[in-house]
């Protein structure tokens, strides 16, 4: 039986998005009433500004969202990696791993 909290599970989790990419994640454990969703999107607007938008909350609700803008694409990539590293540590924090349920490349 696989242990979702073992360190090896982080290796299969995505660590980056391509430019203009979106990733949808879900963490569910219905026996413990955990039903979370998280999405992250990286895009470039018409003025060349890099936007990183994250939204999170309970599945089936509006939840919350945040949009950060970056002039430097490396800063935007760093922000995406930071968010994804935090989601990869979910088994240690909440006891359930996030699963990729949708991506648009």
**How many angstroms separate the CA atoms of 29 and 94, rounded?**
10
> Is 54 a domain residue?
yes
Tokens of 58: 């309970």
Q: Residues 85-94: what's their mean pLDDT?
A: 94
Q: Does residue 60 lie in a domain region?
A: yes
Q: Is 57 within a domain?
A: yes
Give the helix ranges, DSSP H, for the chain.
73-88, 90-93
The beta-strand segments (E) located in the chain are 21-29, 34-44, 50-58, 64-70, 99-104
With pLDDT > 90 as the criterion, what percentage of the chain qualifies? 73
Bridge partners of 40? 23, 54
Q: What is the pTM of this model?
A: 0.79
In a domain, 2, yes or no: no
> How many domains is the chain built from?
1
Average pLDDT for residues 45-73, to the nearest whole number?
Answer: 95
CA-wise closest residue to 79 among 33, 48, 22, 40: 40
The pair phi, psi for residue 50, each rounded to 5°, is -90, 125
């Amino acid at each position: 039986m696989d242990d979702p909290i073992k360190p090896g599970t982080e290796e299969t989790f995505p660590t980056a998005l391509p430019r203009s990419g979106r990733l949808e994640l879900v963490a569910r454990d219905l026996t413990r009433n955990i039903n979370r969703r998280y999405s992250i999107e990286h895009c470039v607007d018409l003025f060349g500004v890099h936007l990183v938008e994250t939204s999170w909350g309970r599945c089936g609700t509006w939840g919350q969202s945040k949009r950060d803008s970056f002039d430097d694409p490396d800063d935007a990539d760093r922000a995406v990696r930071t968010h994804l590293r935090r989601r990869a540590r979910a088994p240690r924090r909440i006891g359930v791993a996030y699963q990729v349920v949708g991506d648009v490349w």
